[in-house]
Structure 1
Amino acid sequence: MHRHDTYAIGVTLGGVQTFQYRGASRVSLPGQVIVLHPDEVHDGGAGTEAGLHYRMIYLEPSLLLRGLGEGGAGLPFVRQPVFSDPELRDELLSLLGPLDQGLEDLAADALVARIARGLARHAGQPLKPLGPLALRQVERARDYLEAHALEAVRSEELEDVAGLDRFTLYRHFRRAFATSPHRFLLMRRLGQARTLIEAGEPLAEIAAATGFADQSHLTRHFKKAFGLTPGRWAGLTGAGQA
């Protein structure tokens, strides 16, 4: 039995996860989301001999509160520690999948904001409306991302450009452009990568030139965005052929 001073939020990937939490025995199956609140005593382990595979993020309460923004009414309390939520599960796994590569600033901001809204929803804690759209500020942020798409843009840079804190910017950016700053940046990089693929450049060099950690990192995002691998795209476009 132990406790954390953070929220523990994760997804069971394989096996059966069992744990004691708030006076009861809990079970999480593959694909289910787990939310443990700060300072709540719990244990955890595999429920069968098949073992257990899961991923977890430990989130500071103060950061979660910032992620909720002005619309939040305090930290959310989710009474059911295990639940099914395909949207929240997929958002967690899309960013927690390549753990060895870490998270860029803008990706981490998006993850915190999505988790905050997901937990508020499961806590039955509606958020206040966003208010008037900060269009000029988010347009400045968009233009900056467009101009620096191949660089590792830091959250502080974008805050200075837009004149908004990162989580307020995230919410206004999504409202204005139907995507997050991180996703916008990623699609600019993938567009440039596609152009270089069509020009016949080596994939490893393309990955390095367009801001991806390596070729596998590029391939994963390329396939998710366009439905096929960079190699397949090269073949279809005749890249490198005389």
Structure 2
Amino acid sequence: MQENSVRGIERTEHLAPGVAGGLERSCKAGFADGMRIAMPSRGVERIEARFHGNGFSPHRHDTYALGLTLHGVQTFRYRGAERFSNPGNVIVLHPDEVHDGAAGTEDGLIYRMIYLPPELIGAVDGHRTALPFVADPVVADSGLWQALADILGDLDADPDDLIMDDVVMRVVAGLYRQSGAPRKVVTASAQTAVLRARDFIESRCGELVLSETLEAETGLDRYDLARQFRLLLGTSPHRYLIMRRLERAKRSMAAGGGLADAAADAGFADQAHFTRHFRKSFGMTPGRWLALRRGTG
């Protein structure tokens, strides 16, 4: 791990000036807990998290969570084992895998993450193959590290399409390189059905969506749809629906809306129902998320 840390520092020092400045400024002692959240672009969220002790309770996303440890020791439980990452490592968390997050030392932890929707990963090869799965969530991969540094180096800038496309292509190459498994081909009919179900769920995310409706929309029975949906998008139709509702609620809260209004607008039964799902998906309550976002956590 020490060797990885040294390599990571060396790579940071040799980044382009804008990238190096963005990452090096993050690594300073005596910091307060908080989160910086970049404006989402093309469904992609980028954050910087700074905290001491336990940061997140067990939770799971429906995106790939990819990140760089910048300061301290990043520790988390993932797929039944305790994991550790030092500066220079790349974190790779697969959609729908439960994990938590904590600072491994009293010095605290600073890291940056990008949350890439599985459909963006799948689009690189036209959704013709199943998603790549990287078993080890802490890897040393210089190509993957540089691709993430290029997109995480400046959280204040909104990356244009050309930058995002290039980074996503390089990230996908790194994920398949680290997965070490042959790509599993998905049939054209299954691909069409899953993407149709995805579009339908997104257009109705504030409403009740029934299995019968998705069967009628896609031509697949509910069990085959669930199986093919997970191959291409990394999660179930139900979880995909819940996460779209949570995204809508987060946008409402970030714009100054109250928790109860955000919950109702997103389609949750009540604020308690919303809070339960928020905690399961992000590892903290909506109130805690808002406080960290404002730097008052």
TM value normalised by structure 2: 0.41
Larger gyration radius, structure 1 or structure 2:
1
- RCO greater where, 1 or 2, for CA within 8 Å and sep 6 or more? 2
TM value normalised by structure 1: 0.50
